[in-house]
Structure 1
């Protein structure tokens, strides 16, 4: 059959996924086969993920890997965009050699993204516990602090364990409840679009937890998780085999972006584990190294959020209609699993280098332009004349485009990309100026200003700009390629899109600026009227 699609296959984001110990890449209980399958199904036509599976052992669980007996210094990490670490081996196995740590440090400083996780106590410390940034964003050492004062990780048992098991369908709490269809509920950190109080602004989760259906608030549960944290010391540097790495350049700190909350539980409810104290701990951590020219890092409290046994069921209970199939057992479980899969894919998108994310943006815009809902609404008489586009038309087609775009691109990514590669394509300096009002995730200095009514214009600005930018970009792309031809498909990758869309984005920013000025004037007039009325009535 001929290829009739106007969408070309996107370039792959290359992920090197590494594990050790008894973990595997197949469908075993402690396997990563389900995760790999999820990543091989991309969120949309604007990206695809290519996973290379590497195992540091030569044991039986390693047999499903593409690479066995893996070492970071014996392989060209430059072939990959991201490295995902699922550390299982614990002390007394030694940490990575200096030459391996150098290879990873150079990869990270060169913009490569890293994801890392272990479990309770020191599970994973051998592979992950000495890696810069990773070592201080999560607790890896037990029962004593690490060699650089790293905090002690939570224990597997005792009332202070990180036990996130949700109450299941049967009496009492037991280990295999982790394989049922009931997830834990997490609390995401929320971000606002100004330094003013958050209550008056649109709130956004971290991009890792922004799903196509809204904020991601669930993860698989487990009775003894690890913990993500934020280091106190942001000044450390390390030297590995002659290479020096500054752990946190410019003092930019990582964040905990989601927390797990534990309710107190009486001992008799859990015969295996006993009493549980109420507490809250970091479930997911993130470091936006792109802000300072290095790679991003994400960490998770446990690989049980990713292993087969916590997703698709426990093979040791084949007669249990729920725990044998995991989240597939119910409609609510399947809905939760969709959120969890979105989190997996978000990791791969968020860790991608800026140039790769810019390519994702333009591919997503290209796909949106050809979607029937958008293609049928573009007015041919307005093609080629950006000066004819008023705000109403830009917002009309932009709203259509946003609905199509955010079916596969998260709201967070759409907002970030429209700012960085939309507004920023017109004027990088302008983007940096307006960024505090448009980018909720930009690091901010100082405390939030309190005690006043914030500027309502700013609380409306992100979505207004997003729709106007999308409307402008759609009209620019439609002007350049009015028909879905093979030439359009094959030539789109070679277009200088920032230059192509600039006249349309210039127009969009001009009409948005005018609207903001008018709105601000009206609000000021309303404020003056209210003040005068209050004084006259006093």
Structure 2
């Protein structure tokens, strides 16, 4: 029976994330081939109940494409960047256009060092270098320079042609490989980096993709294809420092390195299959890169191999081929294409969520928890008699429900990150820092350092055990504080200091988990000793 008391009146207002989207050259924000209107529509659509994205559109020039922007002739030093949570750069212009001046680069560096998120992309060769090629961190997380290395020895970007080009086209609905295959319903397949939650054998551990590539149905493994992409990479020098208009910049504070978090793979093909571009050599290259600046007290950064993963022509088709029922409508042409497009849209939303400042993500977390508390599956399963002092079994039972409810709107990666950082953290920052090596698969580790310190079987169970216990404790505490779904409850919840409300319940849950882990550890050691004794006796 559905809980009819749970009405929209108790839903919390979503957390607003403000994005400044900047482009140049022939790119636009309208429905043109090189337009970003589809991306903006996806970001601003109310797809998730705990976040709303507002995009401000800016263009560096005063040309025809710039008419689609709210802010033409845009300069970073002449605008208040503090009103935005993140900045997205789509660089199209080549090196024959002036690059950003030092005062603009300083404004961007201060924005990033202040916690603001940054996304940037270009395409093959030097497409995008004038807008993005000198931006701190961005400049070394992707290849921007061509045909010679950059001024600081930056590597050369891939060419538009030749057998070494980054051609990710897959064969579509007609023979041979053609440029407009990028507008069909067949995406390229990418390989996400996977992060294990323990050092257990493969049969025992769980693994997550990077949060950027965590989709509603598991890892995101598709992106639009294109015949000549750029490349994301990891710099060798992590200790660079430099000055921008009097502002001292550390490229990677604390030496924290960026990562390539997804790769594109190219299969070799003979020249006769592509009369226009010729032979293609097999290779693998970085498709998506990420820098988790939150670990160093600065903003996060994400980069992508090409803006063709975002432009209209790669998503909704090529209007110049109306006679082609597939390429004229893009991913909408088939059920498989529409399924792939849902994964791609999830990637766009993941960028906006992952780049958000920590305080914005905490706001998203509590809104997601609030919505889960009133979901009929959770509210009907809560037992009023146990709200004050649930045992571990009750916490795990309800926590599993909450985890599945959250999965409908938040990715597994978001739920795991937020439950650790803000859920466990509600019981004290020290607890989270102590547990983090065993719970956080994305925590950077040296090559010989293993996650966790418990025996394999115990460490493989620990992340899900803690996650469910924390989710159960948080929802129990919220339900005890707000037993009825009234408008007064919703209004009062808007001003609640959530860590204070749920912290004691989370602390008790963690103590219960600690006791269970200790008992399990003792049993496993006893069994191990018995097995060893038996083997010795048998010998």
C-alpha deviation, 1:421, in angstroms: 0.5
Q: Indicate yes or no: 2:138 matched with 1:134.
A: yes
Aligned to 1:112: 116
Q: Indicate yes or no: 2:178 matched with 1:149.
A: no
Q: 2:126 aligns with which of 122, 125, 140?
A: 122
Partner Cα separation in structure 2 for residue 198 and residue 349 of structure 1: 30
Aligned to 2:76: 72
1:128-169 superposed Cα distances (whole Å, 9 cap, x missing partner): 000010000000000000001110000000000000001112
C-alpha deviation, 1:422, in angstroms: 0.8
Aligned to 2:381: 377
Contact 2:195 2:442 in 1 (8 A): yes
Contact 1:140 1:152 in 2 (8 A): yes
| Bigger Cα displacement from structure 2, 11-20 vs 452-461 | 452-461
Q: Aligned to 1:376, what secondary structure does the other structure show?
A: helix
C-alpha deviation, 1:198, in angstroms: 6.4
Q: Aligned to 1:298, what secondary structure does the other structure show?
A: strand
Q: Indicate yes or no: 2:261 matched with 1:260.
A: no
Aligned to 1:510: 511
Aligned to 2:280: 276
Alignment of 1:238-387 (within 5 A): 238-383=242-387, 385=388
Aligned to 2:447: 446
Contact 1:191 1:198 in 2 (8 A): no
Partner Cα separation in structure 1 for residue 125 and residue 201 of structure 2: 38
C-alpha deviation, 1:448, in angstroms: 4.8
Aligned to 1:188: 192
C-alpha deviation, 1:535, in angstroms: 2.0
C-alpha deviation, 1:5, in angstroms: 2.2
| Structure 2: runs of 5 or more not aligned | 1-6
1:33-85 superposed Cα distances (whole Å, 9 cap, x missing partner): 00000001244211110000001111111111111010001101001000000
Partner Cα separation in structure 2 for residue 350 and residue 128 of structure 1: 20
1:425-449 superposed Cα distances (whole Å, 9 cap, x missing partner): 1021111111011000011123256
Contact 2:88 2:119 in 1 (8 A): yes
Partner Cα separation in structure 2 for residue 483 and residue 185 of structure 1: 47
Q: 1:7 aligns with which of 8, 11, 21?
A: 11
Q: Cα gap change, 1:26/1:153 in structure 2, threshold over 3 Å: closer, same or farther?
A: same
Q: Aligned to 2:262, what secondary structure does the other structure show?
A: strand
Could you list the runs of 4 or more consecutive aligned residues of structure 1 that deviate by over 4 angstroms after TM superposition? 195-200
Contact 2:199 2:456 in 1 (8 A): no
Contact 2:200 2:460 in 1 (8 A): no
Aligned to 2:520: 519
Contact 1:197 1:449 in 2 (8 A): no
| Structure 1: runs of 5 or more not aligned | none
Contact 1:197 1:454 in 2 (8 A): no
Aligned to 1:27: 31
1:191-230 superposed Cα distances (whole Å, 9 cap, x missing partner): 1123566674211100000012111011000000000000
Partner Cα separation in structure 1 for residue 366 and residue 450 of structure 2: 37
Aligned to 2:4: none
Partner Cα separation in structure 2 for residue 256 and residue 133 of structure 1: 14
Contact 1:197 1:448 in 2 (8 A): no
C-alpha deviation, 1:534, in angstroms: 2.0
Q: Indicate yes or no: 2:485 matched with 1:484.
A: yes
Partner Cα separation in structure 2 for residue 194 and residue 401 of structure 1: 23
Contact 2:198 2:456 in 1 (8 A): no
Q: Indicate yes or no: 2:219 matched with 1:215.
A: yes
Q: Aligned to 2:494, what secondary structure does the other structure show?
A: helix
RMSD value, Cα: 1.5
Contact 2:125 2:145 in 1 (8 A): yes
Q: Cα gap change, 1:479/1:530 in structure 2, threshold over 3 Å: closer, same or farther?
A: same
Q: Aligned to 1:116, what secondary structure does the other structure show?
A: strand
C-alpha deviation, 1:104, in angstroms: 0.2
Aligned to 2:533: 532
Count of matched residue pairs: 532
Partner Cα separation in structure 2 for residue 320 and residue 529 of structure 1: 70
Q: 2:165 aligns with which of 155, 161, 165?
A: 161
Aligned to 1:495: 496
| Bigger Cα displacement from structure 2, 391-400 vs 78-87 | 391-400
Aligned to 1:401: 402
Q: Aligned to 2:521, what secondary structure does the other structure show?
A: helix
C-alpha deviation, 1:188, in angstroms: 0.5
Q: Indicate yes or no: 2:89 matched with 1:85.
A: yes
C-alpha deviation, 1:424, in angstroms: 1.0
C-alpha deviation, 1:303, in angstroms: 0.2
Q: Aligned to 1:494, what secondary structure does the other structure show?
A: coil
Q: 1:231 aligns with which of 227, 230, 235?
A: 235
Partner Cα separation in structure 2 for residue 316 and residue 453 of structure 1: 60
